[in-house]
Amino acid sequence: MRTPPSGLFGLLVAEFWERFSYFAVLSLLALNLNERLLLSEGQASTLAGSFAALSYLTPLFGGWLADRGLGAGRTILLGAICLLAGYLALMHASLAATYGAIGLLALGSGLFKPSFTTWLSSLAGDPASGQRQASFRWLFFCVNLAAAVAPLCIGGIQARRGFAAAFAFCALSMLLCLACIAALFLRSIRNGDMPKRAADEAKAGAGPRALAVLCLPSIAFFVVFSQSMGALVFWARDHIDRTLGGLALCTYPARDDLGRRPRAGAVPLAHAGTPAATPHRPARESSSFDGARSCAALRGPQRWDALSA
């Protein structure tokens, strides 16, 4: 039984928390822009999609910077600091702060991702030993685990404590990642085993045509996957019954267009959205689905009138 390389566990923990915060923000960004900053659904989807596109474009710059100057360890640290600053900026209910946060997050992701895989490859050693393949299998496991857990956890926090608390939790998870990276970086300096540059280990690979063929399925997949950041989020909010055995899951609290909760004694939005009894239509009991659906059904003065009734 092979012994895992020293430092592998710390890197995997750091990657889990970095991916956790990233996927958590992806699941909330469009909703934050629409419900908290009052952008239209189209504008929110466009801005969230632009952030996702930039997060896949900036690694070109991050990889170049790591190979040409800073090295993998320093580039990862700089990227983690940018990501932490971006998550803290998202806590502010300001469009200017949100634009700045998106820029910081895109830059931080570009600095973090390519250098992290370089560090892991250097840590795992010779590919012929099979240790590198095993290390990357554990890496993909951590990434998929974070992608599955993050939206569920962060959705519950947002539904109960608001967007600011949800983004604060993302900042906390990124702080844990930064602590792991800093500890590994300092240990590498003491031991003199800093990760090599990716260019030092580069070998002849597939040609341009083969790469283009391999990229086409990936592009098709991410065209569909990216709908979960905008259109699919809004559709799920307005049309999905988020209850399980009578327990409400990630239901959104009743608020007016300024983000204010109803005052004490106000009629809950679920009752305000329930059709009244008429000679041709008997009254029916409201449900948690009615409350979630009425958040999208009532707009502007209608919603505030319902909350003030």
- Angle separating helix axes 131-161 and 8-31, nearest 10 degrees: 40
Q: Per the CATH hierarchy, to which homologous superfamily does domain 8-200 belong?
A: MFS general substrate transporter like domains (1.20.1250.20)
83: which residues sit within 8 A by CB, 6+ positions away? 18, 21, 104, 105, 108, 109, 112, 174, 177
SS3 label, residue 197: coil
- Can you give the pLDDT at residue 230? 85
pLDDT above 60 for 205 = no
Check residue 281 and report its DSSP letter. Answer: B
Residue range 84-113: mean pLDDT, rounded: 96
Q: Where are the domains of the chain?
A: 8-200, 240-308
Report how far apart, in Å, the C-alpha atoms of 117 and of each of 59, 76, 103 are.
11, 10, 22
Question: How much is the pTM?
Answer: 0.77
**Tokens 């956790």, located at residue:** 20
Q: Give me the pLDDT at residue 138, please.
A: 92
**Distance, CA of 256 to chain centre:** 26
* pLDDT higher at 52 or 267: 52
User: How many CB atoms within 10 Å of residue 271?
Assistant: 15
pLDDT, residue 139, reads: 93
Q: Give the per-residue pLDDT at 272.
A: 40
pLDDT score of 255: 46
Query: pLDDT value at position 300?
Result: 41
Q: Which residue has the tokens 């990276």?
A: 181
210: confidence class by pLDDT, cuts 50, 70, 90? confident
pLDDT at site 134: 87
Assess whether pLDDT exceeds 90 at residue 260: no
- In what helix (H) or strand (E) does residue 244 lie, and over which residues does it extend? strand 243-244
Alpha-carbon distances, residue 304 vs 216, 228, 295 (angstroms) = 48, 30, 11
In 3D space, the residue among 100, 113, 131, 97 whose CA is nearest the CA of residue 22 turns out to be: 113
Contact yes or no for 97/194 (Cβ under 8 A): no
Torsion (CA) 123, 128, 131, 134 in degrees, nearest 10: 120
Please report which confidence band the pLDDT of residue 1 belongs to, taking 50, 70 and 90 as the band edges. very low
Segment 5-26 mean pLDDT: 93
| pLDDT reading at 201 higher than 80 | no
Long-range contacts of 274-282 (CB under 8 A, 24+ apart): none
Are the beta carbons of 30 and 190 closer than 8 angstroms?
Answer: no
Q: How far apart are CA 158 and CA 174, in angstroms?
A: 17
At 281, phi and psi to the nearest 5? Answer: -145, 110
More confident residue, 86 or 229: 86
